[in-house]
């Protein structure tokens, strides 16, 4: 077992916040959030999502960070350290498994972003003059098994290269470069998009709830999205918290990360929805939304070539800092628990994820059995299935168990102690009391109710 002091650390709070925000901000914000909101009735989805971020996301974020920093371990080791010889480490085990599951489909979409970046740069995307042309570019592209597999592999290779460099020398260093670039690109694109004709209609779609759209799948989607977007429910924040120096303030750091992630999701909405309304396109068109709809819109706007290149560069950057965190969870497990070197774990696990990604890479027409039949990429494909199982259900179950653990097994007093390590108890009593109620009662109950409703009504997907 590795000695905790050799595991590496963030250089300080800023390094941690950038790396953790890099984990949280990803395809979840820019690809998944807009299409989920589009399918969930726009403003309605957004309001429920924001509620979940505030009431469930922030407390679970703080709980994960506290567990991680206290134990200085990966998710499995963290539970082992706190409650040895119990079944709790299995919760960490579920997290590690979920990490494999998410990375297996995430790296495929991340590969698409590289492909689209290439197509945008070479000017090929200028052929996406209308929805039909763009749709056929997309379906031809994703159905090409060589492209899909090679690009997912290339993306994982990039990820491995960073993760093998370690915490401050690899992950933190790249986050410090990429996150500011990402932010600037987002602002530029949002300004461009909002100033388009009809842009304001997109904004009102994003913020005006239509309560008649309310359904269980919208609520489940919003819960899954809140957890997925904040990288919660599988121990990623346990892992990132485990590299946090003891004297740093976790309350603030965790809240900043949640705030940054949510701001960027909304910013992504402000890029995509005004552009959709400008072009008169359909918000509810599913996972193909940013890949099919946006290129046609880029072709209709002034400076569209540059906007397209910037957008897909942005998407690739956001995805990279997230795949890094997913791989890091897996690597930290094999380093801490199995005594592997970081170098070996990065390469072997990264390769393993590549093999797991192959079925998802083939799920868009290359292999019909994985593609869900006639409906192709909209309905039942292997990738969407993975996205649901790991990205909604597994994270929800994980978040529920983490709340029960933190609130009841470990206990609120110890949790508060771990959060406040280093900077004394400067938090006013009401904040501490409210946090206790949220983590013990509100969060686990809310997640449980959603899950029970899903099972009872049979509305799984
Ligand atoms: N949060 C990332 C996104 O929004 C994805 C991600 C990275 C993630 N690490 C995670 C999701 C851990 C769940 C758990 O794209």
Q: 197: CA distance to ligand 1 center in Å?
A: 34
* 452 pLDDT more than 90: no
CA–CA separation, 290 and 49 (whole Å): 20
Say which residue, 285 or 95, is predicted with more confidence: 95
- Structure tokens that stand for 239 in this block: 């892992």
Q: Please, what is the Cα angle at 350 between 79 and 290, to 5 degrees?
A: 100
Longest dimension (CA), the chain: 63
* 154 pLDDT more than 50: yes
Q: 23: CA distance to ligand 1 center in Å?
A: 6
322 lines ligand 1 (CB under 6 A): yes
* Mean predicted confidence (pLDDT) in 284-312: 85
Instruction: pLDDT band for 2, please (50, 70, 90 cuts).
Output: very low
Model pLDDT for residues 125-137, shown as the tens digit of each residue: 999 988 788 889 9
228 lines ligand 1 (CB under 6 A): yes
Q: From 229, 230, 233, give the residue whose CB has the most ligand 1 atoms within 8 Å, as the site to mutate.
A: 229
Q: From 20, 21, 22, 23, give the residue whose CB has the most ligand 1 atoms within 8 Å, as the site to mutate.
A: 23
CA–CA separation, 150 and 186 (whole Å): 28
Q: 111: CA distance to ligand 1 center in Å?
A: 16
Instruction: pLDDT band for 66, please (50, 70, 90 cuts).
Output: very high
Model pLDDT for residues 106-127, shown as the tens digit of each residue: 999 999 999 999 999 999 999 9
What percent of the chain is predicted at pLDDT more than 90?
59
In this predicted structure, what is the pLDDT of residue 423?
61
* Mean predicted confidence (pLDDT) in 297-319: 89
Say which residue, 168 or 348, is predicted with more confidence: 348
Q: 129: CA distance to ligand 1 center in Å?
A: 33
107 lines ligand 1 (CB under 6 A): no
24 lines ligand 1 (CB under 6 A): yes
390 lines ligand 1 (CB under 6 A): no
In this predicted structure, what is the pLDDT of residue 377?
42
* 97 pLDDT more than 90: yes
* Mean predicted confidence (pLDDT) in 163-177: 91
* Mean predicted confidence (pLDDT) in 229-238: 97
Alpha helices in 395-428 (DSSP H): 395-404, 412-420
In this predicted structure, what is the pLDDT of residue 426?
61
Q: 430: CA distance to ligand 1 center in Å?
A: 31
Q: Which ligand 1 atom is at minimum distance from the Cα of 24? A: 1
Q: 26: CA distance to ligand 1 center in Å?
A: 7
DSSP state, residue 40: T
* 180 pLDDT more than 50: yes
CA–CA separation, 126 and 92 (whole Å): 46
Model pLDDT for residues 245-269, shown as the tens digit of each residue: 988 889 889 999 999 999 999 999 9
Q: Which of 50, 57, 52, 94 is nearest to 230 (CA)?
A: 57
The highest-confidence range among 78-82, 176-180, 381-385, 446-450, by mean pLDDT, is 78-82
Q: 223: CA distance to ligand 1 center in Å?
A: 14
- For the chain, give the mean pLDDT: 89
* 396 pLDDT more than 90: yes
Lowest mean pLDDT among 69-73, 156-160, 371-375, 406-410: 371-375
In this predicted structure, what is the pLDDT of residue 221?
86
CA–CA separation, 108 and 153 (whole Å): 8
113 lines ligand 1 (CB under 6 A): no
* Mean predicted confidence (pLDDT) in 418-429: 70
* Mean predicted confidence (pLDDT) in 50-77: 96
Q: 224: CA distance to ligand 1 center in Å?
A: 11
Residue nearest to atom 14 of ligand 1 (CA): 231
Q: Which ligand 1 atom is at minimum distance from the Cα of 98? A: 14
Say which residue, 249 or 377, is predicted with more confidence: 249
DSSP structure string for 234-267:
SSHHHHHHTTS-TTS-HHHHHHHHHHHHHHHHHH
CA–CA separation, 280 and 275 (whole Å): 9
Q: Which ligand 1 atom is at minimum distance from the Cα of 227? A: 13
- Structure tokens that stand for 383 in this block: 């990738």
What percent of the chain is predicted at pLDDT more than 70?
93
């Amino acid at each position: 077992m590795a000695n905790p002091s050799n595991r590496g650390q963030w250089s300080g709070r800023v390094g941690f916040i950038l790396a953790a925000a890099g984990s949280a901000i990803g395809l979840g914000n820019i690809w998944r959030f807009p299409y989920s909101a589009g399918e969930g009735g726009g403003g309605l989805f957004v309001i429920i999502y924001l509620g979940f971020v505030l009431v469930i996301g922030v407390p679970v974020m703080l709980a994960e960070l506290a567990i991680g920093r206290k134990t200085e371990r990966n998710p499995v080791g963290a539970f082992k350290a706190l409650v040895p010889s119990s079944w709790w480490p299995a919760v960490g085990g579920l997290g590690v498994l979920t990490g494999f599951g998410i990375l297996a489909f995430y790296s495929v979409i991340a590969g698409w972003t590289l492909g689209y970046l290439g197509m945008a740069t070479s000017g090929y995307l200028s052929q996406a003059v209308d929805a039909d042309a763009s749709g056929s570019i997309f379906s031809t592209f994703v159905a090409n098994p060589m492209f899909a597999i090679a690009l997912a592999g290339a993306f994982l290779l990039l990820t491995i290269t960073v993760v093998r460099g370690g915490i401050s020398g690899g992950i933190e260093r790249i986050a410090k470069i990429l996150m500011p670039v990402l932010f600037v690109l987002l602002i530029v694109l949002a300004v461009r998009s909002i100033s388009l004709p009809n842009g304001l209609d997109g904004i009102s779609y994003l913020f005006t709830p239509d309560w008649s759209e309310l359904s269980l799948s919208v609520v489940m989607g919003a819960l899954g999205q809140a957890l997925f977007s904040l990288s919660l429910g599988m121990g990623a924040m346990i892992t990132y918290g485990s590299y946090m120096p003891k004297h740093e303030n976790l309350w603030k750091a965790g809240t900043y990360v949640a705030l940054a992630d949510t701001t960027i999701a909304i910013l992504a909405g402000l890029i995509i929805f005004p552009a959709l309304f400008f072009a008169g396109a359909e918000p509810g068109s599913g996972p193909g939304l940013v890949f099919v709809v946006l290129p046609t819109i880029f072709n209709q706007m002034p400076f569209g070539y540059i906007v397209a290149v910037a957008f897909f560069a942005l998407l690739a950057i956001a995805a990279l800092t997230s795949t890094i965190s997913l791989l890091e969870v897996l690597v930290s497990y094999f380093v801490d628990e199995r005594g592997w070197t970081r170098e070996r774990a990065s390469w072997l696990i990264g390769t393993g994820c590549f093999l797991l990604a192959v079925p998802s890479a083939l799920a868009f027409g290359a292999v019909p059995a994985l593609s869900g039949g006639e409906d192709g990429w909209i309905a039942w494909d292997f990738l969407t299935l993975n996205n649901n199982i790991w990205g909604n259900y597994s994270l929800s179950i994980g978040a529920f168990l983490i709340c029960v653990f933190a609130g009841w097994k470990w206990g609120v007093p110890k949790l508060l102690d771990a959060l406040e390590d280093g900077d004394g108890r400067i938090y006013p009593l009401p904040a501490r009391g409210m946090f206790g109620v949220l983590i013990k009662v509100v969060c686990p109950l809310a997640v449980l109710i959603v899950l029970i409703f899903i099972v009872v009504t049979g509305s799984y997907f």
